[in-house]
Structure 1
Amino acid sequence: MTAALVGLSHSPLVGKNDPAPEILQSVYAEISAARAFVAEFAPDLVVLYAPDHYNGFFYRQMPPFCLGTEAYSVGDFGSRVGSLSVDSAAAKQLARGVLARGIDLPISARMAVDHGFVQPLEILFGGMDRVPVVPVFVNGVAAPFGPLHRIRALGTALGAAARELGTRVLFVASGGLSHDPPVPVLENAPRRVADALIEGHPPTPEQRARSEHRVLQAGYSYAAGSTRMIPINPRWDNLVLDTFEHGKLTDIDDWTPEWMGAEGGGSAHEVRTWVAAYASLAASGPYRMTSRFYVPIPEWIAGFAITTAITQGSR
């Protein structure tokens, strides 16, 4: 097996509330470079680690992570509705391999996913059905959060299981870094909001439109500086990226959920997708980060990053 990685921030506000042209140009230049990296690597399979934003996973049962043997997109924020091209056979083999390595991995035979999964597939491959994929949900918004060493253990076990496939595997991390968008919180929520977070009733088109409008308005306010949201934290974001670049993955075990939230905002826990992906890559041996891009983008409510990495024995 040869292995590679792309870490890619996402935002539902891409194309809806864009930053200054020079910043946008730099982002798309890095996206083009990441696409070229992926095309040159030519993966046989993509293992995609991504969060959910109360579109597929709810408090009725909220696992810390879950692997999908089938998946479909709900189509939020204008993303496409429909099925992902899940390689069910590979997904089941990876699930067995992870379970055999002592990680209690929940399985979904019909995983609902949102823009956190679809956006990286659209950006890197031109669509959510262009490449065989194994989707892995990693909780990044719903407290309480477990210790980071469990996420690292998940990534390590899945990376080790992926070696047994004998194919070219691209690990993709979607999310992060510091950002504090208006995601609802269960604690002290009004009964109507709490019921929605627990039961997961699909919103009506009108309800979805109102929710997406609130996020868009938050992006306008955030960029204008008039908001109560936690600011983007470039210092913390670059500490996180340094950790991945230098392969100091065991340092992550000391990161507490409280520290992550205070430094990076309520949705900084999406960094857990990056932890899992880099641990998966490291399971194939030493790696090197081949590109690193970072820029704070208030318009997207995101510390926005793109990285690529490859194991030393890969070409």
Structure 2
Amino acid sequence: MRGKRSHMFRILQWEPFDERERARVGDQAEMYARQIISRYGEGVLLRGPLVPSIDSYGRIDGYRESDFLVYTQGTVFCVEVKHYAGTITYLPRYAPRQMGYSYGFRNQRVIASYDTSKLLQIKQGRRGETVEKTYLNPLKKTRSFILLLKKYVGRIEPRFQRLYIIPVVCFSHQADIRAIYNFQEGMIQIEQLPDFFLQHRNERFAAQPSPWIAETILNKIPNWDRVLTTNGEWINGILVEPYLTFRGVDGRLYSLSHYNVIKAIKWQQTYRAAYTEMVVTYTNGASQTHYCSGGQLSLIRGERPETFNLQNLQQLVIGLANKLVL
């Protein structure tokens, strides 16, 4: 049974648990949730699924993202992780009410109802002051993401558009979510994910998972491109250049094929050598070895790209260009 379990739970190996990654990208809650998920049962997990947003000219003007897609217990879940601190409630709606006092009447604002489309976070600031912040309801956002994901992937795999996907939002222990907690609806603590998965177990497909669902999640849904630095840090974003250009041992510049046919690139630093061994793995399973003496690549997430020298990288995993379909 142990061999079967390791085969079925195909966690992406380029997403290790690494304290340096946690410090780098600030996703402690996501990494903890991933740890909880991967320790439980059999299934398939994809981190950071993306859906492109297309403008009226047919161009990509951004991406919608969720934290995880998980196929376990015969059911597909879309998991959103929130690392909030303080007390979390729905946003109050106030109404004036006239209150009687011994010296007359006075109007006061009282809570008349709650706006469930938004969350209110109340926490203590660094100087002891009360800080309030409003967020869109992440459960509603996750439901919206699922609709977009099914529409996008349905163009590639029509069966996916009819697939039942359950949204769930899980919060870290730093958040007091008693006011919004709802296990049935999927507003829970991270530690409750295994119980939530079990609650929605599909007996028919739990015993015999559908291969096409696993194949679609792992190989047809875009996610972030990632590099692993020689310092052991995973950094994610979107590759700026359409292909990699590097300098060979003869000093000339060479270019690889477009990233849409490449799965991953690994660099092996050779002791005291003036070059680096570079192994390119393609989406069709083929591989090539090159030797490079220099080169750069850039990732962007946000406003400014970050550039990396190839000598400072161990690995590049393509998550977007080789899966994106417009």
Larger Rg, first or second structure (1 or 2): 2
- Name the structure, 1 or 2, with higher relative contact order (CA <8 Å, separation 6+): 1
**Greater fraction strand:** 2
Which TM-score bucket, shorter chain as reference?
A: under 0.3
**Greater fraction helix:** 1
- So what's the TM-score if we normalise by structure 1? 0.26
- So what's the TM-score if we normalise by structure 2? 0.25
